[in-house]
Structure 1
Amino acid sequence: MGTHNLQEEELSRSPTSFSSAIYSQLPAVKMTSFDTYNTKTTSISFPWPASVTGLERIALSAQGDLQRVLSAFFAHPITIALVYSHTFTQDSPTASLVPLTLPNHDVIASASPTSPIIQNRQVHLQCNGKIVCTATSSVRITSPECAQLFLEEKYAIGQMFRRLEKVPAFHLLSVGLGEVDGSPTHNPATEKYSKRLFTLGSEKANEQQLWRKYKLIIPDFECEILEVFPSREMFVHGESWLTDAHLANGKRRSRTPESDIDVLDLAVRTSRIQQNLILVIGLGFLLILAFEVSRFKTGTGLHGL
C-alpha cells in the first residue's frame, strides 16, 4: 500500500510548465489514477476511443517499456533512431530556456531542481528497418546522475528507467486517431516553438494513425511524450506488416462480388461457344452422312462415278 500512495503522491504534484505551451493543442486531462489495485484485483480505466482494439490498448498502456512490448509483439528487436534533439538550461525553474551545446560536462554536473536541463527530442522506434512509432518528448532533468546517463551516455528514455531500476509514475493524458497537432520543433532564430501535423500524405493514411500523450515521472527525470503509430494495420498483421506481405495477400484475396460475377459470366460465355461449336460440327457431320446415304441408294455414290 505504501508504494501505491507514493505513486499517487508523485502524480498529484503539479508538473512544471516546461511543456504546457508545447502541447496546448491537445486536451487537458485532470490527473487521475490510470490503474488501481487492491490485494487481489488490478483494474485499468480510461475513456478509450470506441474503435480501439485490445492489442492497441496494450501498446497504449505501456509505461516506459513500449520497446519491450513492441519487440514481443513483432518478435524482432526495436531500435531507437534519433531524429532531432534540442537541449536547454534554465537559471531557475521559471526562467527562459537558454540553448545548450553538448557536450558540456560542467553544466551536466550542475543539474539540479533549481537549474534544470530541458531536452526536446524526437525519435523513431524502428523494427526490421520500418518505423513503428514516432515519439516526440520533452524531458526535464534535475540531477547530474540522470543528466550524465541521458545526455552523455545516450540512454534512451525507456532504457533510463531500466538503468536506474525505477518504475516511473505514469499518467495517460489522451488517446486519439488520425492527425495530431503537438510536435515540438525549435526555431533557433526566434527561440520559440511551433507545431506541425503528423501526416502520412493521404487522408486515408492519416486516418490510420493512432496516437497517445502521456507522462512518465521518477525523481530528477520527468518526461512528457507524444507517440504516433503510423498505421493501425501493424496491430492487425504483426510481422507480415513489416515486410508488406499482408498487401500481397490482400491483393490475392481482394475479390469483389462484381469481379466474381465477371468471372462467372466469362465462364458461361466460353462454355456456350464450345457447345455451339460442337453442335455445328455435329450437324455438319450428319448432313454429310445423309448426303452420302442418299447417293448410295440412288447408285450415284462416290464408288459409282
Structure 2
Amino acid sequence: MVPPAMFDRSPSPPIVKIPGHFGDIMSNRETTLTMPDGFTGIERIMLTGNGNLQRLISAYFNKTVSVEILKNIQVPRTADEDPAVIVHFQREVNLLCSNKIVCNAKSRILIKDQSVYDLVVNKGVGIGQIFRYLDRLPSFELHNLGRTEKTFWREYSLSIPEVDCRLLEVLPSSMFDDNWLLEDPEDIVWEIEA
C-alpha cells in the first residue's frame, strides 16, 4: 500500500529498529534503544513514546494537555488499498498546554473490523482512544525522525489486526526551554518538507 503524500519524506539518519512491542513495559531484564545524535535526552524520550505523548508532555509541564481536533474526516478508499479496510480516516490535531501548541499530529487510520467501525462511527469513540477503549496494546514502529530549524518530529505506526494508524508528530524544539509556556508563541511551520 502506498502511503499518503503527507508521509512522503527523505530518509532520516539510521536508527536501530525499535521492537514492535512495548519493551519498556514488558522487557525481561534489559532495554536498549540507540538513536542518532543531535537530540537531547528529553527529545529522545518524546520521540520514542509508545503512543503516550500527551501523557509525557503533561508530566513534563505538570499541566493539563488537551486535544484540539482540526480535521477528522473519512476519506474514500484507494484502488490499491488493502481490501480488508472498511474505512479510512485522516485526522489532524494539536496538543495544547496552557493554550500553546506543543504538538501538531497528522494521522491516517485504517479500520479493518466492523465492531471497531461501529465504535467509532456509531458510538462516538474517538479515533485516538480506540486502543485504550479496546484495552489492547498496539505494536509500535518508529519509521522516521528528524529536525528542522524550529521543530523535531517523528513518523510512526501503532497497529493491532483491526486497526492501523500511521502518525506524523511535530513538536517545537524550544518547548523544553525555561519559561517556554510563558513566552509568546513562535512562528512555527508545522508542515515537514520531504
* Fold shared per TM-score above 0.5: yes
Question: Relative contact order, CA 8 A, sep 6+: which one is greater?
Answer: 2
The 4+ residue runs of structure 1 with deviation greater than 6 A are 28-32
One-letter amino acid of the counterpart of residue 233, structure 1? S
Which string of whole-angstrom CA distances, capped at 9 and with x for unpartnered residues, describes residues 119-158 of structure 1? Answer: 111111111211100001111001122223334414142x
**Structure 1 position 232 matched with structure 2 position 173:** yes
| TM-score normalised per structure 1 | 0.52
Alignment length (residue pairs): 179
The match for 2:117 is 147
Structure 2: gaps spanning 5 or more residues? 185-194
- How many angstroms does 1:167 deviate by? 1.1
| TM-score normalised per structure 2 | 0.79
Which string of whole-angstrom CA distances, capped at 9 and with x for unpartnered residues, describes residues 170-228 of structure 1? Answer: 111111111xxxxxxxxxxxxxxxxxxxxxxxxxxxx1211111111112111111111
Structure 1: gaps spanning 5 or more residues? 1-16, 98-111, 179-206, 246-305
**Structure 1 position 40 matched with structure 2 position 11:** no
**Structure 1 position 124 matched with structure 2 position 94:** yes
More helix by share: 1
The match for 2:189 is none
Structure 1 residue corresponding to 2:71, chosen from 84, 99, 114: 84
More strand by share: 2
CA distance 1:71–1:88, shift in 2 (3 Å): same
- How many angstroms does 1:85 deviate by? 2.6
Looking at structure 2, the residues matched to 170 and 236 of structure 1 have their Cα atoms a distance apart, in angstroms, of 29
The match for 2:157 is 215
Superposed counterparts of 1:263-274, under 5 Å: none
Looking at structure 2, the residues matched to 20 and 31 of structure 1 have their Cα atoms a distance apart, in angstroms, of 23
RMSD value, Cα = 2.9
SS at match of 2:32: strand
Structure 1 residue corresponding to 2:182, chosen from 235, 238, 243: 243
Percent identity of paired positions between Structure 1 and Structure 2: 30
Looking at structure 2, the residues matched to 59 and 82 of structure 1 have their Cα atoms a distance apart, in angstroms, of 21
CA distance 1:243–1:29, shift in 2 (3 Å): closer
Looking at structure 2, the residues matched to 22 and 146 of structure 1 have their Cα atoms a distance apart, in angstroms, of 25
The match for 1:25 is 9
CA contact (8 A) 1:214 1:224 kept: yes
One-letter amino acid of the counterpart of residue 49, structure 2? A
One-letter amino acid of the counterpart of residue 131, structure 1? I
CA contact (8 A) 1:89 1:116 kept: no
